[in-house]
Amino acid sequence: MNRIGEILGFLREKDEHISGDYISSRLGLTRTAVWKYVKQLRQMGYAIDTLKGKGYSLRTVPDRLYPWEVKRYLRAELLGRTIRYQESIDSTNALAFQLALGDAAEGTCVVAETQKAGKGRLQRKWFSPYGKNLYLSVILRPSLHPSSVYPITFLSSLAVYDTLHQFGLKPTLKWPNDVLVNGKKICGTLLELSTEADLVRFVIVGIGLNVNMRKGEMPDEIRSKATSLLLETKIVYERARVCGMLLNNLETYFDLLRNHGPVKLVRTWEEKAQIKGKSLEVTQQGAVFKGVAEGIGDEGALLLNDHGKVHKIIAGDVSF
Ligand code: BT5
């Protein structure tokens, strides 16, 4: 943990003031160094009182996705051990991709308070207002053949599904990458990968999860079809906690993938999505397919039965 996180640890230990001397001796820092870190923390939005002769006391913590805040909730051993925090960025997926090309370790995450060019699938945009939601990208390096990497899409939506359950919601999964609550989109995920010959070099799992976004903060185009944790529960959430919980759940499903293979992930998603037998309409590059879902193929494709003819759909947008 870095120094900032360590100093915060001391400040959180007690409700009363804690002396600068005590912190400096425990961390092997000078009093001036401790004071400089406290000043830095204040600039980051932490309210820290100073009382002459007594020391420092932490009054309030800002709602920011600082790595040391996320790590307070992290039980995962691999995912999120390195977190790159950006206040503002074009796209967390784009930065994670760059880091992965530069040999960043598996499990490295990028989080941002806002994205200026958040990406959806097929050149669509992901609306990413400042300090409201989660914009997260994780680098994975699974040993998979490129042809069996697609089910990783399900890994992220399953992790979000479980996280929302932990907050008492009843989400639904929509093929391939959406999580809905009461029919509205609360999360979208975007998978990007780099392959060479028969090998996946890395996968970037991008997750946009709406946490504290209110109706009035949404653009017209999504207002009637999007929702957030706050809108569904009337509670404002500590995003660092949501992020930590999500990473823990992601690791659970990543372990499932590593121990049991991609087909297991597909079957788990299929079961939780309760997709079999649903009447669906799928739009794929302008073409519309209608039918009854037979389930998900081993490689992740949607199997749609149109009067006895089964279409195997690998990309598209579903409406029920
Ligand atoms: C997705 O695309 O749902 C994938 C979204 C992935 C976003 C994350 S954020 C972190 C990481 N970094 C990135 O740059 N991206 C990933 P798609 O299925 O194509 O859905 C896009 C559509 O969802 C848009 O055209 C809007 O209609 C709608 N939309 C946009 N922003 C939204 C939001 N915040 N909440 C709900 N719906 C939204």
Measure 188 CA to ligand 1 centroid, in angstroms.
5
Atom of ligand 1 nearest to the CA of 96: 12
Closest residue by CA, ligand 1 atom 23: 126
Q: For residue range 182-235, list pLDDT tens digits in order.
A: 999 999 999 999 998 889 999 999 999 999 999 999 999 999 999 999 999 999
Residue 285 pLDDT grade (very low, low, confident, very high; cuts 50, 70, 90): confident
Q: Residue 268 above 90 pLDDT?
A: yes
Please report the sign of the dihedral spanned by the C-alpha atoms of residue 248, residue 250, residue 253, residue 258.
negative
Cα 289 from Cα 186, distance rounded (Å): 25
Set out the domains of the chain in order of their start, with CATH numbers: 2-60 (1.10.10.10), 67-272 (3.30.930.10), 275-319 (2.30.30.100)
Q: What is the mean pLDDT of residues 164-192?
A: 96
Which pLDDT value is given to residue 1? 55
Tell me the average pLDDT across 284-289: 84
Q: What is the model's pTM?
A: 0.95
User: What is the 206 CA–ligand 1 centroid distance (Å)?
Assistant: 10
Q: Which residues line ligand 1 (CB under 6 A)?
A: 91-93, 115, 118-122, 124, 126-127, 135-137, 177, 185, 188-190, 206-208, 210, 221-222, 226
Which residue puts its alpha carbon closest to atom 26 of ligand 1? Answer: 222
- Centre of ligand 1 to C-alpha 276, Å, is 25
Nearest CA to ligand 1 atom 6: 189
Q: Decide if pLDDT at 266 tops 90.
A: yes
pLDDT digits (tens, 9 = 90+) for 106-130: 999 999 999 999 999 989 999 999 9
Please give the average per-residue pLDDT across 139-150, as a whole number.
92
Rounded Cα distance, 51 and 55, in Å: 5
Which residues have C-beta within 8 Å of that of residue 265, sequence separation ≥ 6? Answer: 151, 152, 154, 155, 158, 253, 256, 257
CA of 185 to the centre of ligand 1 (A): 9
115 Cα nearest atom in ligand 1: 14
Please give the helix or strand (H or E) that residue 71 lies within, else none: helix 67-71
